[in-house]
């Protein structure tokens, strides 16, 4: 049971690495389901692991208390995270920091404080940090693009650090004793355990068979099970070292078997969508103030209204303008006689209230 709780969480960083880092464009319903699942199941896995450790260590005696503690921890963690996310938005929009490098320090501090407050209030600190980050990222905060890059780098560094820790903590002589068990469990989870669990959970939502197959296959394990496997070792639970060694095989097998075949499986099942090309140059505004106005990039499809039109013939909303056109490796300064061609990346400046009109003319904006 302890092993099941430890490996129950799919790892968000591993999933994002394959889907986004590998430039895999899935159909929205499938891609969002896989990503949301990998993000929200971490707090539940942590709660179940810690609760089971308390039971095995004979520190928790009331089953009623154990059952009630799960929703309470989730509710408290979500509430604390939401409150700190809103408070962080307010703080970032009003604090004037001359050194932009201190903004990531502030956001990381918010994450640590949210984790600590939620934990002291007997809530899920992991869920609090996640909700806090979601609320912060969805708001208009200064230096948003710079903050996203710093936290993306920290996420990759943490992922590498967790795998390094896994390698340093295992002993090859101990792995041989559980090798066949570990490989058998890894194969069971990949081919039967997870697909069956996905089928039972998603069947009421009317997913198609190919979508259920892919979601069931995309159960990557990464840094989270490694961290959770250290909890019973630190608590000196009986058999904890065997659990840790088994987790090693499960994580490695998960990275090799499903991880190396996700792109092939998506194409084979017909779940990919045409990928938008990335521009050769990226234009953005980094400001320590919350500015009114948006700078957004649009990739011009042949079907959009402005394709092959001259800029002087397009009726833009008042206060909006084309800032830059990226065509292949060429940067084009927009003029009245400049034509917008299919495949261009057009950077538009406009007011937030004019976004619907911009999307009507140029299509959906590029992500990022």
Is residue 38 classed exposed, middle or buried when 0-12, 13-18 and 19+ CB atoms within 10 A define those classes?
buried
Tens digit of pLDDT for each residue in 61-84? 566 777 788 889 999 999 999 999
Q: How far is CA 220 from CA 160, 171, 249, 251, in A?
A: 15, 23, 13, 8
Note the helical H segments in the chain.
2-6, 12-16, 28-56, 63-94, 102-120, 125-138, 144-169, 172-175, 179-188, 194-202, 209-217, 223-234, 240-268, 355-362
- DSSP codes joined into one string, 184-250: HHHHHIIIIIHHHHHHHHHGGGT--HHHHHHHHH-----HHHHHHHHHHHHTT-TTHHHHHHHHHHH
CATH architecture of 294-362: 2-Layer Sandwich (3.30)
- Residue 175, pLDDT score: 79
Name the CA radius of gyration of the chain, rounded: 24
Cβ contacts of residue 31 below 8 Å, gap of 6+?
19, 25
Q: Report in angstroms the alpha-carbon separations of 295 from 234, 254, 352.
A: 49, 40, 10
| pLDDT on residue 67 | 76
Residues 6+ apart with CB under 8 A from 235: 53, 57
Q: Which two tokens stand for residue 168?
A: 């340093």
Whole-number pLDDT of residue 307 = 93
pTM (2 decimals)? 0.76
- With CA atoms as reference, report the closest residue to 251 among 220, 276, 230: 220
Decide: 15 and 218 in contact? Cβ < 8 Å: yes
- In the chain, which stretches have pLDDT less than 50? none
Predicted pLDDT of residue 167: 78
* pLDDT confidence of residue 277: 73
Domain ranges in the chain are 2-268, 294-362
For 292-332, the pLDDT digits (tens) are 888 899 999 999 999 999 999 999 998 899 999 999 889 99
- pLDDT of the residue at 26: 80
């Amino acid at each position: 049971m302890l092993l099941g709780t430890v490996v129950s969480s799919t790892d968000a960083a591993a999933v994002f690495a394959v889907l986004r880092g590998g430039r895999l464009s899935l159909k929205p319903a499938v891609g969002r389901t896989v990503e949301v699942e990998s993000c929200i199941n971490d707090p539940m896995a942590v709660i179940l692991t810690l609760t089971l450790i308390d039971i095995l260590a004979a520190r928790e005696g009331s089953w009623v208390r154990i059952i009630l503690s799960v929703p309470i921890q989730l509710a408290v963690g979500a509430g604390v995270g939401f409150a700190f996310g809103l408070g962080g938005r307010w703080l970032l929009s009003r604090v004037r920091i001359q050194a932009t490098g201190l903004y990531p320090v502030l956001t990381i501090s918010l994450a640590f404080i949210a984790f600590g407050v939620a934990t002291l209030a007997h809530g899920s600190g992991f869920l609090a940090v996640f909700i806090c980050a979601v609320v912060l990222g969805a708001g208009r905060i200064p230096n948003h693009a710079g903050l996203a890059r710093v936290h993306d780098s920290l996420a990759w560094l943490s992922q590498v650090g967790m795998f390094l820790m896994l390698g340093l903590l295992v002993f090859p002589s101990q792995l041989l004793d559980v090798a066949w068990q570990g490989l058998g469990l890894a194969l069971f989870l990949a081919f039967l355990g997870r697909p069956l669990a996905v089928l039972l959970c998603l069947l009421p939502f009317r997913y198609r068979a190919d979508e259920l197959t892919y979601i069931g296959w995309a159960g990557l394990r990464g840094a989270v099970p490694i961290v959770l496997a250290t909890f019973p070792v630190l608590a000196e639970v009986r058999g904890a070292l065997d659990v840790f060694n088994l987790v090693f095989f499960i994580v490695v097998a998960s990275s090799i078997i499903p991880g190396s075949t996700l792109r092939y499986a998506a194409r084979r099942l017909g779940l990919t969508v045409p990928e938008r090309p990335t521009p050769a140059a990226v234009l953005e505004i980094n400001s320590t103030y919350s500015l009114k106005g948006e700078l957004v990039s649009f990739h011009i499809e042949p079907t959009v209204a402005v394709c092959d039109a001259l800029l002087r013939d397009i009726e833009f909303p008042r206060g909006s303008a084309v800032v830059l056109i990226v065509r292949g490796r060429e940067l084009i300064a927009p003029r009245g006689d400049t034509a917008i061609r299919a495949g261009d990346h057009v950077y538009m400046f406009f007011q937030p209230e004019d976004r619907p009109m911009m999307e009507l003319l140029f299509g959906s904006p590029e992500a990022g």
